[in-house]
Amino acid sequence: MPNMNPAVKDSPLDAPADAGAYQALLADKLKVALYGAALASASTVLVPGVGCGVFKNNPGDVGVALAEAIRGANDSLSEVVLVGVPDAMKSATAKALGRQL
């Protein structure tokens, strides 16, 4: 995930300044992860609050990107479980999907 935390010394600050490019990058990274799970014939994927901790990505932005990735999975996964995610990420994912999680 992109690093938005200048206190992290072993990773460059690499989040795009443009909001659209940033959201697209988040979605692309999550799409690749879900695609990889589908290629491995996984039926269930556990998703943590990826990027929302030390890298300080906004949980709402990550949630919206996750929803886009889930929609792009084309029903290849039967279940996506959010584990240990910030409430804002869960809420944003649910709102973007238009359903409760």
Give domain status of residue 13, yes or no: no
Give domain status of residue 9, yes or no: no
Range(s) of the domain holding residue 28:
19-97
101 has a pLDDT exceeding 90? no
* Mean pLDDT over the full length of the chain: 95
Give the chain's domain count: 1
- Between CA 92 and CA 14, with CA 94 as vertex, the angle to 5 degrees is 35
Residues ≥6 apart with Cβ < 8 Å to 97: 67, 70, 71
Q: What tens digit of pLDDT does each residue of 1-12 get?
A: 999 999 999 999
Give domain status of residue 72, yes or no: yes
CA distance 83 to 90: 9
Give domain status of residue 70, yes or no: yes
Q: What tens digit of pLDDT does each residue of 46-96 get?
A: 999 999 999 999 999 999 999 999 999 878 899 999 999 999 999 999 999
Helix H or strand E encompassing 46: strand 44-47
CA distance 66 to 27: 6
Give domain status of residue 28, yes or no: yes
Domain with residue 57: its CATH number is 3.40.220.10
Give domain status of residue 77, yes or no: yes
Give domain status of residue 8, yes or no: no
- Structural contact between residues 86 and 52, judged by C-beta atoms closer than 8 angstroms: yes
- Structural contact between residues 52 and 5, judged by C-beta atoms closer than 8 angstroms: no
Q: Which tokens is 8 given?
A: 């992290």
The reported pTM is 0.93
Give domain status of residue 2, yes or no: no
